[in-house]
Structure 1
């Protein structure tokens, strides 16, 4: 029996970080330290009483724009059958077509798209991964939040040890500083500390092609699981060249905001690891579309951030993925992810398996109701 979307509640949430964090973009003067995460939450309710929850996010800029855009176009979803997710998605795209099909426009739509997938899985009384079709019940997990550049090497080592003791299986640290020798010294110290533990590095787009080739060559000695964003995120040809030149895998894709932008990597012959981010690419619907193409191209997967969403999506990927652990969003939810033995386990709860906390409500700056 069909149902229909009766009401949407949009929430503009600002989550302060306990301490400002810096990656290479800060040390090169391109950005300020990150002090907060801005989120757009959507709660959807149907005429039949079913509910779903989704979110997207922004860092440093764009949060109010996401809220404003979705508030402007969301009414086209009212009265629609929530089972027809892609049909609704296309209607939302066309409602905001004058501002394009990537960036803020699709990141705003992403929050509603995630909520509809959550609703569909809850209505089926299945975890989202099971609704889509899971290949595994858990995924390898690595931590990033302890490896930022404002932290000393000793702090990075201490946080890495704490993460491993908490059951996390891999550690990622930031590189890309103005003095490349400092990067190598820090990587060497952390590699010595971690021994055989999987270790990844992330340059956050701060090398040009010549520096990236030199750094990738130097970093080959450290048995890294991957080198992330050595080049500008939109340099598909450059990333492809590095992925075909070095033994250490190259990883990129987190900053891309549409399926066509990701496809440019495949078209360029990229052979590395793809890191799509569901809230950034426009939601679960386009994420799954690209994941099918990435799998066909034989690419490995390691989704960026938003583990509460990506755990489910990674579990549906045919080959063994990685999931990124950030504890930053945890206060916004009542439930916690299950991490043990180097893996993150898919919740047995229906949908995404998360409900919104009182803390999320307290951090909400503005809400809007769409529908009666």
Structure 2
């Protein structure tokens, strides 16, 4: 037998014995979905409440997905909704869950696309993408846990901690004297920045509150404001001009979230940075914002855009265009993502979710530090279980 014939026989034997990647690997065996309502101790009001567009926030709906595989690996993820939509998200998540049973948990990008098209008749943003987020986040958590790495390290961390600012002490329903007390408590706890809500019907009240906090903090401490989309272009221009003297880190959502052009004009006109993006619910919407030069800071929210998979796409485009990053809410997830962003980011601190998890996050010297726990590094507490309204399971436990 010649050399050529020998090689053909050898390759044929190898081909007969070998298996492809599709024929091997782990498989998703079981999914548990939970609808949990987190009550807030004090109803929360921002500018949307003062203008009558929304009611005070009294609770937050969370949809948790706990995914287990045939080989014994597991991950947990969540999505959320404020004021309305939680039961709708949960209902759609129940429609999506069966599509994952038997799938390879490694194929996260493909599975995101699969779930996106499963609900595409309702669109590829909004509730349909937000219902995907618990699964996508759980799969990334599973992947990092399997590697025995914090998610930030799995993604390739640029840093081990992220500068962190507090929002929850500066809502519009809070009297100014209490705001000043909250500011001091936050600063003593190790927070790195303070954000105030603005958008009062009378701009003079906003200016008074911002001036008082700036005086208390001093000129160098990072201070941000958030108007929650409540100004038109004329009011936003006046407000941005008035706030220039306070050396703010950014002015957030001065206009409607989808007024990309208006935000771009403000970003070009004023020295103070413009931040927006938290209300956008897909990579495509964020791409419009970023490519339209619509802000200096981008503020994607992983649960709102559909999970970590689209968030990473937003990060890549944002970094390419030189945008700064300040993810919205859900610091338990966003700490890991912000730690992997090449440009120094900010993390938003909310203590609201603390009772829902057994583990605590580590804040020190103005920065939130990535723990050494694998994955996202959290598990549901007994308190979260007591707040659970509904559960449903799919597949079989391994």
Alignment partners' CA distance in 2, 1:58 and 1:261: 19
Q: Cα distance, 1:291 vs. partner?
A: 0.7
Mapped contact 1:143–1:168 kept (Cα < 8 A): yes
Q: Cα distance, 1:98 vs. partner?
A: 1.0
SS in structure 1 at match of 2:132: helix
Q: Cα distance, 1:270 vs. partner?
A: 2.7
Mapped contact 1:55–1:111 kept (Cα < 8 A): yes
Q: Cα distance, 1:100 vs. partner?
A: 1.2
SS in structure 2 at match of 1:231: coil
Partner of 2:211: 188
Partner of 1:251: 275
Q: Cα distance, 1:267 vs. partner?
A: 2.6
Moved more, 302-311 or 65-74: 65-74
Alignment partners' CA distance in 2, 1:208 and 1:319: 31
SS in structure 2 at match of 1:114: helix
Q: Which residues of 2 match residues 148-187 of structure 1 at below 5 A?
A: 148-187=171-210
Alignment partners' CA distance in 2, 1:29 and 1:315: 37
Alignment partners' CA distance in 2, 1:367 and 1:279: 19
1:40 paired residue among 63, 68, 74: 63
Q: How big is the alpha-carbon RMSD for the aligned residues of Structure 1 and Structure 2?
A: 0.7
Q: Cα distance, 1:271 vs. partner?
A: 4.5
Bigger Rg, which one? 2
2:112 paired residue among 89, 99, 104: 89
TM-score, normalised to structure 1, is: 0.99
Alignment partners' CA distance in 2, 1:339 and 1:233: 30
Alignment partners' CA distance in 2, 1:171 and 1:297: 27
Structure 1 position 122 matched with structure 2 position 181: no
Alignment partners' CA distance in 1, 2:140 and 2:84: 26
Alignment partners' CA distance in 1, 2:393 and 2:25: 23
Partner of 1:357: 381
Moved more, 95-104 or 249-258: 95-104
The unaligned stretches of length 5 or more in structure 1 are: none
1:305 paired residue among 305, 308, 329: 329
Q: Which residues of 2 match residues 1-372 of structure 1 at below 5 A?
A: 2-195=25-218, 196-372=220-396
Q: Deviations over 1:11-69 (max 9, x none)?
A: 00001000001000001111100000100000000001111000010000110011100
Alignment partners' CA distance in 1, 2:349 and 2:360: 12
SS in structure 2 at match of 1:12: strand
Mapped contact 2:262–2:294 kept (Cα < 8 A): no
SS in structure 2 at match of 1:160: helix
Alignment partners' CA distance in 2, 1:210 and 1:180: 12
Q: Cα distance, 1:266 vs. partner?
A: 2.1
Alignment partners' CA distance in 1, 2:144 and 2:368: 20
SS in structure 2 at match of 1:192: helix
SS in structure 2 at match of 1:93: helix
SS in structure 2 at match of 1:241: helix
Mapped contact 1:73–1:92 kept (Cα < 8 A): yes
- Aligned pair count reads 372
Query: Following superposition, which runs of at least 4 residues in structure 1 exceed 4 angstroms of deviation?
Result: none
The unaligned stretches of length 5 or more in structure 2 are: 1-23
